[in-house]
Structure 1
Amino acid sequence: MNKRGRPVTFDREEILEIALNLFWEKSFMSLSLKEIAKETGLTRASLYNTFGNKDVLFLEVLRLYIRSSPEYALFDIKQGEKIGPLLLRVMTEASSRYSFEGKNRGCLAATCFNELLDRNDTLGHEMKKIFEDFKVQLTKVMQQAIDQKELPQDTDPKIAAYLLFVYMNGISIFSKSDTNNEQLRTMAAGFLTRLGFEL
C-alpha cells in the first residue's frame, strides 16, 4: 500500500473489504479511522471525503457483510422450501465463517450490536432496525415451517423465532472458543431437533 495515500482512482470495493476485516477483528469501538487509513493506504482526509465519518463507513461495511452472510438466505426462502435443512445449512455455514482460518471472530453484526445498543443516534437506530428486521423475518420463517408441518401446529412462531435468534447469537460467542465446526454443527442440529424439526 502507498502510505502517503492512494490516487483518486482507488478501488472502493477493495477498501470496503479491508475495512470490513478490520472492524471484524477489532470491533467498532476499538478501531480508529487512523488505523483504517494506515491499512488501506488512504489518508484520513480521503476516507472522510469518500465515506464520511466512521459511523457511515461502518454502516456501509455492515451492509456488505450482511449481504454476503449465510443468514441472508433466510430473506429469500421460496414457498415449499424445507426450513429445517435450510436452517441447519445456514447455521453450519455461519459457524464456519465465524471461525474462518482459525481467527474465531464470531459474528461482526452481533459483536458490534452489543457495543452500539445504547447509542441514541443514527448508527444505534440503524443497528436496532437491522436486528428487529431479522427477528421479524425469523418469525415468518418459523410460520412457514408450521404451515408446512415441519413444526408442531401449536408452536408459537414468535417464541420459536426468538429462541433461534438467541441461539444464533450464542453461536457467535461460542465460535470464539476452540470449538470446531463439526461440534458446532452437532450443536445446531441438536437445537433444531429440540425445536421440533426432523432433520
Structure 2
Amino acid sequence: MARKRKADHETAIAGALELFWQKGYAGASTREIEEKTGLTRFTLQTAYGGKEKFFLETLDTYLDNAEARHFPDPARFTLDDLAEWFEGIASEEKIPRVQDAGCLAFNSISQFERTDPDVNARIERYLATLEDRFAAILLRAEEEGEVSLPLGAAASAQVLMGLLLGLHSVIKARTDDGMARSYAASAAGLLRSWRRAA
C-alpha cells in the first residue's frame, strides 16, 4: 500500500511539473491540476495543503533534480566546460519550445514578485548554490593559472549569475531560438576571454 501511495505521489508530482512548467503557478487552474495529476480537489487539500503547498513541493522536486543533474560540477568542470554549459542551455536539445514557459525556477522569481517567503527561500538557496559552484570552478581555474580574473572569482561568479538570469529572460521572451543562442554564445565567449594567454 505504501508503495502505491509513493507511486501515486510521484505520478502527481510529474504531472504537476509539466503543468506548472508550461503554465506557471498562476496560470494553472485547480481543475487543470486535477486533470494533469489525477488528484481530486479533496486530496489536493488534505494530502498537500492546497494548491500553493503542492506547488512548493513540486518546486522542491524540480530544484533538487536541477541541482543533482544539471548544475555544473566544481570537481571536474574546466573553463571550457562551463562555457559549453552556458551554450547548452540554448541548444536545440535543451531549449524549451517558444510556446512553453521555460525554467520553472526562474519563472517563479517573476511570478511571485518576491512577495512569498517560502518561494523566496527556495529560489535564494538555488541561486546561491549555483553562484557558489561558478565561484569554485573559477577559483580552481585561477589557482591553476588557467584564467586571469581581474574582478576575482567571487565577483566573476556574480557576473555569470547576471548573464544566466538574462539568458533565461531572453529564452522566455524570444519569438525564435536565434536570439537566445546568440546570447548564450556571448556569455560563453566572455568566459573563454578570461583564459590566460599561453
Distance 1:106 1:9, change over 3 A: closer
Deviation, 1:164, is 0.5
Deviation, 1:160, is 0.6
Distance 1:45 1:128, change over 3 A: same
Q: Residue in 2 aligned with 1:192? A: 191
* Letter of the structure 2 residue corresponding to residue 36 of structure 1: I
Corresponding residue pairs, total: 188
Task: Give aligned-pair identity as a percent.
Answer: 22
Deviation, 1:192, is 1.7
8 Å CA contact retained: 1:55, 1:123: no
Q: What is the rounded CA distance, in whole Å, between the counterparts of 2:58 and 2:144 in structure 1?
A: 36
**What is the alpha-carbon root mean square deviation over aligned residues?**
3.0
Deviation, 1:27, is 1.7
Q: Residue in 2 aligned with 1:30? A: 27
Deviation, 1:190, is 1.8
TM-score by length of 2: 0.76
Deviation, 1:173, is 1.7
Q: Give the 3-state SS of the residue equivalent to 2:39 in structure 1.
A: coil
Q: Give the 3-state SS of the residue equivalent to 1:187 in structure 2.
A: helix
* Letter of the structure 2 residue corresponding to residue 83 of structure 1: T
Q: Residue in 1 aligned with 2:79? A: 84
* Letter of the structure 2 residue corresponding to residue 187 of structure 1: S
Q: Give the 3-state SS of the residue equivalent to 1:110 in structure 2.
A: helix
Q: Structure 1: which 5+ runs fail to align?
A: 1-6
Q: Residue in 1 aligned with 2:18? A: 21
TM-score by length of 1: 0.76
Q: What is the rounded CA distance, in whole Å, between the counterparts of 1:104 and 1:120 in structure 2?
A: 24
* Letter of the structure 1 residue corresponding to residue 20 of structure 2: F
* Letter of the structure 1 residue corresponding to residue 109 of structure 2: F
Q: Residue in 2 aligned with 1:141? A: 137
Q: Give the 3-state SS of the residue equivalent to 1:42 in structure 2.
A: coil
Q: Structure 2: which 5+ runs fail to align?
A: none
